[in-house]
Amino acid sequence: MSDDTDLYRYVSEMGAQWLSSQQLPAGGRGVELKDPCGRAVWLLQGQARVDPLPMRASLVRTTNTADHTPRLNQTVRTAIEPAKVTKLGHVVLQTLDFPRMSEWYMRVLGIIPTDVQYLADGSPNLAFCRLDLGHQAADHHTLVLVGGIEEKYEHSAYEVLDLDALGQGQQVLRAQGHHHMWGIGRHLLGSQLFDYWHDPEGFEYEHYTDGDVFTADVETFYSPLDFGGIWAWGDDAPASMKPQKNLRTVLRLLSLIRRKLITPQRLKLLSAALDAPARPWL
Ligand SMILES: [Fe+2]
C-alpha cells in the first residue's frame, strides 16, 4: 500500500486485523482482510527494500526491424540463464461470485477495471484490473478476476526483461525437466509476450514481457468473453486451462446448482464462452 494509505481505516471500518511483527516478511506494518470468498488479503506498508539485482541491458533498443536497424556490425548473444524476474506482475483468481468479488476489490483496493468481458446476456464475467497510479504507468492488469465454477488460484505472473530473457529462460526450464504449459505467444488483452509453466505441485506460473501500461484516466473497455480471445498468436491454449469435462466436474456442477451458487442458465452462457472457437477465421 502507498505510504499515505490509512491502514487504521481498514481496521475501524472493515474489521481488518493487525498483523504481528513476526508475520511481516520485511518489517513495516500490515493488516489482514478477508475478501467475500474468504481469502486472506494482506495490506502491507513501509516494508524494507533491497537493491535490485544486476540485470543486463534490454535488447529492445538495439532490435533491428525492416525499417530501422540500430544494431550495426553487432550480433545477438544473450546468456543461457534462468529468466530473471523483475517483479510479481499479476495474480489471476477464479471465483463463483464475480459481482461481489469485483465490487469488493474495486472498493477496497481502488483498482481500475482496464478490460471487462461479458457473457452473451451482457453480464460481466472477467475483469483485468490495474492499480490506480494516477499519471504514472500501471500494468494493464495486476489483479484478474474471472467468474467460474470454483474458488481457485489460476496463476501468478512474473515480469522478465525482454523476449530473449523469456526465450532463454524457457530453454533452461525445459533442460531442467520442468513441465511446460503454454507459450511463447502474445496475449490479446494486456498484449504480453507470455510463457506458462507448471510447478512440481501443479500450480501455474507465467513469465511475461512487453505488457501494456496505462495511466488512471483511460476508460474501461468492454468486449464479449470468449476463451479464444486471450491470445493474439502462438499455440492454442491448452485444454488444462478450462474445466475438465469429467465426472468430478459434473458432480461439482450439480452440487453448485443444488446449493443455488450458480444457475443452469449461467452455466450454459459460461460454457458457450469457453467453447467459442479460438480462430473463427480459419
Ligand atoms: Fe497472466
Distance (angstroms) between ligand 1 centre and the Cα of 103 equals: 21
**What pLDDT digit, counting tens, does each position of 3-17 carry?**
999 999 999 999 999
pTM: 0.94
- Report CA(230)–ligand 1 centroid distance (Å): 9
Give the tens place of pLDDT for each residue, 45-103.
Answer: 999 999 988 999 999 999 999 999 999 999 999 999 999 999 999 999 999 999 999 99
Mean pLDDT score across all residues of the chain: 95
Ligand 1 center to residue 271 CA distance, Å?
A: 21
| pLDDT confidence tier of residue 245, bands split at 50, 70 and 90 | confident
Whether 128 has a pLDDT exceeding 80, the answer reads: yes
pLDDT of residue 278: 77
**Concatenated DSSP letters of the chain:** --TT--HHHHHHHH--EEPPTTT-BTBSEEEEEE-TTS-EEEEEES----PPPP-PPPSGGG--BTTB----S--------PPPEEEEEEEEEEES-HHHHHHHHHHHH--EEEEEEE-TTS-EEEEEEE---TTS-EES-SEEEEE-SS-EEEEEEEEESSHHHHHHHHHHHHHTT-EEEEEEEEESSS--EEEEEE-TTS-EEEEEES--EE-TTSPPEEEE--GGGGEEESSPPPGGGS---SHHHHHHHHHHHHTTSS-HHHHHHHHHHHHS-S-TT-
Q: What band does 134 get if pLDDT is binned at 50, 70 and 90?
A: very high
- Report CA(164)–ligand 1 centroid distance (Å): 19
Stretch among 68-72, 164-168, 242-246 having the lowest mean pLDDT: 242-246
All domains of the chain in start order, with CATH = 1-48 (no CATH), 83-275 (3.10.180.10)
